[in-house]
Amino acid sequence: MSEALLGFQHRYQSGTTPGSPTLLLLHGTGGNEEDLLPLGSMLAPEAGILSPRGKVLEGGMSRFFRRLAEGVFDVQDLRARTTELAAFVAAAARHYRFDPARVYAAGFSNGANMAASLLLLSPATLAGAILFRAMVPLVPDTPPDLSGTPVLLSNGSEDSIVPRENAERLAELLRGSGADITHLWQPGGHELTRRDVAAAHGWFSRVVLTDGANGGF
């Protein structure tokens, strides 16, 4: 069930084995806590799932932070929302008793930008991230220590919303903070595709799961 606990409407599903990682699923604009549940199952069926709904409304559509225009973010609001989401993840770990050191974000579009902001402003919140169609959310005042943090970026080669140079700048920003970056370019635009999911499943199995691939995509 979707629960309005800990400050966010959200869904939680426990992992299938003790010590399983937890996927923090962050939807795109207009989505909700249900949207990416199938994605979580395809990425890592054994992982726990924590899927909150963004609390900002734009024309009735849920988002994780405000924007002033397409690609122009309200940085003050982004900083505050990032702090709020980090506190939610920590509270959820205590409430549901999952390992806070084994949380990996998987976000699409607005959710991917929020995940990138968590990496940059609250690096202890995430052990790694999968960012589908992300762009630079902000440049932190002080670079975070992301030493060895695995991050997959999957961008569309024909994306009209996220320019190639912006996606590459995000990869360099994270790499410059020590993150272990894998950056993929997929054919297509700003949509999430089966090719994205298949590549992310393989990456997560290789990089995160200690016993390698766990079931085919």
- The reply to whether 14 belongs to the active site is no
- The reply to whether 159 belongs to the active site is yes
* Catalytic site residue from 20, 109, 154, 205: 109
* Catalytic site residue from 2, 180, 183, 190: 190
- The reply to whether 190 belongs to the active site is yes
* Catalytic site residue from 159, 177, 201, 205: 159
Cα→Cα distances 4→45, 51, 62, 83, Å: 24, 12, 15, 19
Catalytic residues: 109, 159, 190
